[in-house]
Amino acid sequence: MRSVFIDNDRQGEWMYWGYGLDKLPSVTSLVSEAIQSNGNHSCDDWDARPPLRLAAELHYGGHALVNGATTMVHLLGPHSHFRAVATRCACKVVLMTRLRRPSSYYISFWQWANIAKMQRHDNRTHGSNMVDWACGYRNIQAALLLGDLKLALEPEYVGVHRMKPHAIRAFHAFDDPKHRERSLAHLERTLSAFDLVGLVERFDETLLLAADLTGLQHLTHSKVSPPPKNRAEVLTTAKALGCESRAGCEQKIAACASVDQQMYDRAATSFDERVRAQGPEFEQRLLRLRRLRAARESTDKVRTRRERDAEKPIIREKVLPPELRSDALLRQPQPLSGERLGRHGEIVLDPQRAAQSPAAQPRESSYSRLMNYGIGVVGEQIDCRGLLGGGGAAASRACRLIYSDTQFTMPWRLPKRRERAAIHASRSPRRSVSSGRFDTSHIHALVHTG
């Protein structure tokens, strides 16, 4: 999904933000202020104001989002203050996530992270096979929805037989009958707050439904399959997997990760009903999407490596100096003079601090240095699009926060490359498979977890 978001950023219609969303509490507060910045808190001048289409990805939760999905629902969900402000001016906020069949999830994770190699070297720590490892880290998808997304680092690096107490509590939360019903109810409430719960196995349908909800324009991305880490061996032997066949693996994992299996089955049933309700036109659009994507993939194969690299985002961590890569700088946004941290980590104005003399005001924090440093990273200038570029002081501050909180640098946003990117965009077919069911001139925020 990230490649779709980034492609829309490259085309100029959307702005990508990801993938830790450390500054989400502050950004929601500032964008709310920007939406109401016309003085009378009304939407009278809405059609004359610049639009904003923001695509945010939460992959690994940042330091500010300890409970990623729960915090996102609180800040952006159906009953959030931000959504109430946004919908007042016909702004659309869409929360989406995707689930994967548990057997496919575990086998893919196990192969990608090269767990088999660890098991060969130390099976007392990492387990004897894939099923042994999966049963120790049971219900990973449910645990990540209810807890810290950085829990995904545990099965990747920590041995299944040496789990830390907090990991045991998270992955075994459904084992205790006393807490099982409460955890299941919490999981159901969290999923119900998402506007779209898609399926990895049905990515194309999920993408079209997301486009209908948000007006996402460019969907003909090239397929991306992350290679295994450290050139891992892709093992499929019965001994390494702990099951004789694919069906046998599915049965064993379904028994261990019963909550993940139950959650997936329910989501798959609801997803089927949602797709069927779209009618035969949806199937035609699905076929068109696949044809256009196949055509793009064939075109990409004949392009030069330099052309392809010019459209790839650069991982910003490689260009930031060491003193600005410290985890301590990213843990929590620090308020500047005249501001304070709100109840949920957002930055709010504090009249008492603002009235203090300059000598009594706090010095510039490490966080603000990182935010300001974003202007000069390898000669870049912040590209504030739409409302963030012309919505006043709050919008400008939100843009700077989003920029500093994005782990990638977009080469096409650089002044020297914008003209070349515009030329490439003019040569590319701008056909869209979105249905046009809703006016894409409004402000849209598409937030994706995965």
- pLDDT tens digit sequence for 203-254: 999 999 999 999 888 888 766 666 666 555 566 788 889 998 889 999 999 9
Contacts of 307 (CB under 8 A, 6+ apart): none
Q: Would you place residue 414 in the very low, low, confident or very high pLDDT band (cuts 50, 70, 90)?
A: low
- Write the CA distances from 405 to 19, 332, 339, 401, integer angstroms: 8, 12, 20, 6
Residue showing tokens 């699905």: 286
Over residues 32-36, the mean pLDDT reads 85
Over residues 8-14, the mean pLDDT reads 85
Q: Would you place residue 362 in the very low, low, confident or very high pLDDT band (cuts 50, 70, 90)?
A: very low
> In which domain, by residue range, is 423 found?
2-449
Look at residue 370 and tell me whether its pLDDT is greater than 80. Answer: no
- Asked which of 279-283, 365-369, 430-434 is least confident by mean pLDDT, the reply is 365-369
What pLDDT score does 108 carry? Answer: 92
Tally the domains of the chain.
1
Hey, is 255 helix, strand or coil?
helix
> Rounded to whole angstroms, how far apart are CA atoms 253 and 271?
22
What pLDDT score does 61 carry? Answer: 63
Can you give the pTM of this predicted structure?
0.77
What pLDDT score does 199 carry? Answer: 97
What pLDDT score does 430 carry? Answer: 43
